[in-house]
């Protein structure tokens, strides 16, 4: 007769491909019951957007089959891990992961990437917020088609707008006129960002995507120094000039000891509509070179597509309007890789916290 210990021993042979640890020691097996040969348990994955979720579930079922248990009841769920120290951030203690989306220069499509990645994570089943932190040039309201959103304040907390499953805050909602310029010095800009972060009712979020302005100015510095964040996603394009400037942003975050989630390359190539061949119009491999040089993950490449630009201008992101397009698929694949990197950073954080807790108290 198969026992619970045998079941757990067999399940412990299933390794999470991202975390490189077995699912039992990671606490991914919940509520296991074995009665009269009938087995049921919950498989709790680390994120609904993990690229290996189907593979892990298949490996689990194979492991159970090896024991001769037929038709087990397996409830597959996902719970996003905390990729940052929530104990050190009481102001945003309900936001599990904060991802800053940065670029060395403008014009690389950073906001488009941030928005479509946020939508892709939301579509996977995660709870996602999007903060448009580009105070000087907020574009998220236009790209979502919600320029006229009126945000309310309740119990001294700003209530985000909601659009397509996202909770959204942008300075663009507060401009008196559509083309009004934000003319503020650095300290004021930093104060606005802090208010948007800590004085907003983000509620329970798995991921808060922060669309940062390009460069290495006050806002990226404020984000890195104000609250614990999971890490930074760097957006670049294939051109050498964009890659060279992206390197400067990477250098800044490295100096601030902020983890780098990865680098994504936008406008990587053009797919010919008549022959379906890839054409590398702006060069090839810029982001991959950065990834190799700085040992940070290469999380995806998004093809050049006029539909992305047109959709952004009309408030209709391509991942919603043309979900079967190569561009939409590229965003979904990138989102899965980013979620996986967040889980890896979360697992590393857990190990560090365990190690700190195990250290003997200093003697006087």
* DSSP assignment string, 73-123: EEEEEE-----S-GGG-GGGTTB--EEEEE-SSSSS-HHHHHHHHHHHHHH
Helix (H/G/I), strand (E/B), else coil: 248: helix
Burial 144-179 (b: 16+ CB within 10 A, else e): bbbbebeeeeeeeebbbbebbebbbbbbbbeeeeee
Report, as ranges of residue numbers, the positions in the chain whose pLDDT lies below 50: none
Q: What is the pLDDT of residue 243?
A: 79
- CATH number of the structural domain spanning residue 229: 3.40.50.300
Same domain, 20 and 125: no
CATH code, domain with 31:
3.30.300.130
Q: What is the pLDDT of residue 192?
A: 85
- 141 and 260 belong to one structural domain: yes
Q: Which two tokens stand for residue 277?
A: 């061949």
Which of 78, 111, 126 is at the close of a domain?
Answer: 78
The range of the structural domain enclosing residue 38 comes to: 4-78
Report DSSP state, residue 293. H
First-residue to last-residue Cα distance in the chain: 56
For the whole model, what pTM was predicted?
Answer: 0.90
In this structure, the answer to whether residues 300 and 320 fall within a common structural domain is yes
Task: Give the pLDDT confidence score for residue 284 in this predicted structure.
Answer: 83
pLDDT tens digits, one per residue of 42-52: 999 999 998 88
For residue 363, being part of any structural domain is answered with no
User: CA gyration radius for the chain?
Assistant: 22
Q: Are residues 255 and 213 in the same domain?
A: yes
- Domain closes at, from 78, 94, 129: 78
Q: Are residue 63 and residue 197 in the same domain, yes or no?
A: no
Instruction: Judge whether 287 and 236 are in contact, CB under 8 Å.
Output: yes
Q: Of 43, 78, 113, at which residue does a domain stop?
A: 78
Q: Residue 8 in 3-state DSSP?
A: helix
Q: What are 143-152's pLDDT values in tens digits? A: 999 988 888 9
d(CA 326, CA 48): 21
Question: Would you state the pLDDT for residue 178?
Answer: 55
Q: In the chain, how many domains are there? A: 2
Q: What are the pLDDT digits (tens) for 70-98?
A: 889 999 999 999 999 888 888 888 999 99
Residues 34 and 139 reside in one and the same domain: no
What does the pLDDT read at residue 240? Answer: 80
Residues 138, 45, single domain; the answer is no
Per-residue confidence (pLDDT) for residue 184, from 0 to 100: 61
């Amino acid at each position: 007769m198969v026992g619970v210990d045998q079941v757990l021993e067999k399940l412990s042979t299933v390794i999470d491909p991202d975390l490189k640890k077995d699912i039992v020691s990671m606490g991914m097996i919940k509520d296991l019951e074995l009665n009269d040969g009938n087995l049921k348990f919950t498989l709790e994955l680390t994120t609904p957007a993990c690229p290996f979720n189907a593979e892990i579930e298949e490996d689990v079922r194979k492991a159970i089959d090896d024991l001769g248990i037929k038709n087990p009841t397996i409830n597959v769920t996902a719970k996003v891990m905390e990729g940052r120290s929530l104990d050190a951030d009481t102001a945003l203690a309900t936001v599990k992961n904060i991802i800053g989306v940065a670029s060395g220069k403008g014009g690389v499509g950073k906001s488009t990437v941030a928005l479509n990645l946020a939508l892709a994570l939301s579509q996977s089943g995660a709870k996602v917020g999007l903060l448009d932190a580009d105070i000087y040039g907020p574009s998220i309201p236009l790209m979502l088609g919600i320029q006229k959103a009126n945000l309310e304040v309740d119990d001294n907390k700003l209530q985000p707008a909601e659009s397509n499953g996202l909770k959204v805050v942008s300075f663009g909602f507060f401009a008196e006129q559509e083309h009004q310029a934000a003319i503020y010095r650095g300290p004021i800009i930093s104060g606005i960002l802090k208010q948007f972060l800590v004085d907003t009712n983000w509620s329970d979020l798995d991921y808060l995507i922060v669309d940062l302005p390009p460069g290495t100015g006050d806002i990226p510095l404020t984000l890195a120094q104000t609250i614990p964040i999971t890490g930074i996603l760097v957006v670049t394009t294939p051109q050498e000039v964009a890659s060279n400037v992206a390197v400067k942003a990477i250098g800044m975050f490295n100096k601030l000891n902020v983890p780098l989630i990865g680098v994504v390359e936008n406008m990587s190539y053009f797919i010919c509509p008549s022959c379906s061949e890839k054409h590398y119009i702006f060069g090839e491999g810029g982001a991959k070179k950065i990834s190799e040089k700085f040992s940070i993950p290469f999380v995806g490449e998004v093809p050049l597509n006029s539909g992305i630009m047109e959709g952004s201008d009309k408030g209709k992101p391509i991942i919603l309007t043309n979900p079967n397009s190569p561009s939409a698929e590229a965003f979904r694949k990138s989102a899965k890789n980013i979620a996986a990197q967040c889980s890896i950073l979360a697992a590393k954080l857990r190990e560090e916290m365990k190690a700190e807790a195990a250290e003997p108290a200093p003697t006087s």
